[in-house]
Amino acid sequence: RAFGYSLVDGIKVPREDEQAVIRQMQAMRDAGAGYRQIAEWMAVTQERKMTFTGVKRTLLEAAHNG
């Protein structure tokens, strides 16, 4: 499943707890953090392993979904 969403009857439904993390990720990116740095932050603070490409994909999807 995509980070930030749950699948309910085949429909992506936002998970507010993960959406809050995505907002933090975006704030870090806006402040100049790289995708790898955000991925490391995720591993340490959120106990979720995510590659830098996963971080990029998550942030691009969030920007697209507004």
Q: How large is the angle between the packed helices 52-65 and 35-45, nearest 10 degrees?
A: 100
Whole-number pLDDT of residue 66: 65
4-42 residue pLDDT tens:
999 999 999 999 999 999 999 999 999 999 999 999 999
Whole-number pLDDT of residue 64: 85
Q: Which of residues 65 and 11 earns the better pLDDT score?
A: 11
- The residue among 54, 38, 36 whose CA lies nearest residue 46 is 38
Cα–Cα distance, 22 to 14 (Å, whole number): 11
The model's pTM: 0.88
Helix%, strand%, coil% for the chain, nearest 5: 60, 10, 25
Whole-number pLDDT of residue 35: 97
Whole-number pLDDT of residue 65: 77
